[in-house]
Chains A and B, each alone.
Chain A
């Protein structure tokens, strides 16, 4: 029995989400005795393949190197995975936008009902997953012969990046499906830690009021070495780029410390941060729902409290 994990990477390096996914695969391996293989499909992706081979618990790395795998287009990656699927009982990927885009396509081609966003492994084919924006947790059992999963990365601590020494095997690429082509990427570059895996996240909402004032949130984040997040309204209003959104339909984070500033605490926002270890809320409305889940609440005008925090930290 073998598990295939589809690596998320940038051709040079494997992303942390891949190691969270391998952690989930390891939980399945512990119950089934399965081996874990990792697929690295990309262009000039030797760096990522070498990185994958060093991750602990990995038994083998499959590398497919071709120009049309450079940007992870769903049509091409899914054809590649399906062509190699016979050997695998489980196929898994991170529940990031990369995994969400490709996995259902693979599942449908293999006639499997995918299980999205697993939080834990309860049995060989039994998993928990959040529904209704995390307002309920379902325990589900897959009855298909193959099991296809995406993994909620905050549910699994990443396995170590070092310690493995798996062989890398080159596999044939499939033809370019030519259904879609990459045009451009407007990457949001930041010196700050990555939002999904940061230790501390400082998020701002509508209360911050403007793009200029959002600098306050950024300054506080920098003081704490934190990543910056935002509510949907802050993104919609153009204070920050789209990939800062935390929530049911944005990123899910579970840092040691999450600070929500000028955020009311809508169900959809809570869905993305309520598993944080410590939650701080700063809001001028003492009735704001965010206070119901905050470990420490401060009723204050953020334009007073945040500068004071920055000064005193």
Chain B
């Protein structure tokens, strides 16, 4: 069984974001970039399935700038066997290529690669869209299991537990299908040095937007980007009594 794992190069989750002074976007120069954390979870899950003898090949795909090669190499160091980069020069500080265009590009790659399963992140931590997996499923006419915290593969189907607002829902989805990962699906491993070295030698194919036949121009215009409203500086209280007094008589919230 072949698994495709889309991985996105995004800002590292520990970085504090600064809005550019001209309100055109956010500052990304000299900022640490990493693999989108949910995608790391997706690569880990695919790797576990391969180690368990359930998957035979893992292909990591990214749509993004030249530098997204590093992201694909990271996926290879965890366990992907080869990689595909669809190169674009779309500005990355606002999340890069839009989800619908990414989904269309991924559809073209799925049609070429014919994977049995696509495992991807539920959400990019830059644009926070939470769309691409569901869109890809729609375009392929496949079933979807989003926000997965547990995946069991059976014959012709995946039984997936999903983290939803009211608790945990389990659904069964026919394969091929799209699965999107939630935080508690697994804990991604740290790639070992030998695996990082090995990753450098794995095949990485590059494509252009024309090769996937997708128009990457944005449909949603970003007019401006601002800092969120700042909270007024608060006060430190010395005791529980003072806290209760403030909440009752100053803030009047209890």
Contact = CB atoms under 8 A, between A and B. Distances in A.
Contacts of B174: 178-180
Contacts of A28: none
A144 B11 CA distance: 28
B145 interface: yes
Interface residues of B, number: 84
Contact of A142 (B134, B142, B219): B219
Contacts of A183: 159, 170-172
A94 B51 CA distance: 39
Interface in A239-286: 241-243, 248-249, 251, 256-257, 267-268, 274, 277-280
A248 B163 contact: no
B225 A137 contact: yes
A282 B87 CA distance: 48
Given A96-B165, A133-B125, A140-B222, A242 B184 contact: yes
Interface in B206-233: 218-228, 231-232
Given A75-B143, A130-B228, A278-B251, A243 B164 contact: yes
Interface string B135-163: 11111001111110100000000010011
A1 interface: no
Contacts of A279: 231, 234
Given A97-B163, A141-B223, A241-B167, A108 B17 contact: no
Q: Count chain B CB atoms within 10 A of each CB in A96, A104, A249 and give the residue with the most.
A: A104
Given A131-B95, A185-B169, A105 B137 contact: yes
Interface stretch (A55-63, A114-122, A163-171, A209-217): A114-122
A135 B16 contact: yes
A181 interface: yes
A80 interface: no
Given A135-B228, A181-B172, A248-B125, A298 B237 contact: yes
B225 A105 contact: no
B56 interface: no
Contacts of B244: 309, 312-313
Contacts of A297: 234-237
A188 B183 contact: no
Given A116-B130, A132-B26, A135-B228, A188 B166 contact: yes
Interface in B99-138: 99-101, 103, 122-123, 125-138
A97 B13 CA distance: 22
Contact of B128 (A104, A248, A312): A248
Contacts of B254: 200, 224, 257, 313
A126 B223 contact: yes
Interface stretch (A32-40, A84-92, A287-295): A287-295
Contacts of A137: 225-228
A144 B220 CA distance: 8
B52 interface: no
Contacts of A96: 165
B55 interface: no
A187 interface: yes
A134 interface: yes
A49 B128 CA distance: 32
* Most chain A beta-carbon neighbours within 10 Å: one of B130, B137, B173, B244: B130
Contact of B135 (A107, A184, A305): A107
B234 A296 contact: yes
B240 interface: yes
A243 B135 contact: no
A131 B146 contact: no
Interface in B22-43: 26, 38
10 contacts: A74-B137, A100-B134, A103-B131, A104-B132, A104-B133, A108-B139, A131-B127, A183-B170, A187-B166, A309-B243
Interface of A: 71, 73-75, 78, 96-98, 100-109, 111-117, 126, 130-144, 177-188, 196, 200, 224, 232, 235-236, 241-243, 248-249, 251, 256-257, 267-268, 274, 277-280, 291, 293-300, 305, 308-309, 312-313
Interface of B: 11, 13-14, 16-17, 19, 26, 38, 94-95, 98-101, 103, 122-123, 125-139, 142-147, 149, 159, 162-174, 177, 182-184, 218-228, 231-232, 234-237, 239-241, 243-244, 246-247, 251, 253-254
| Shortest 7 CB-CB contacts between residues of A and residues of B | A179-B143, A104-B134, A113-B219, A108-B135, A104-B131, A108-B138, A295-B234
Given A115-B220, A132-B26, A241-B167, 5 more contacts: A74-B134, A138-B94, A180-B144, A224-B254, A291-B236
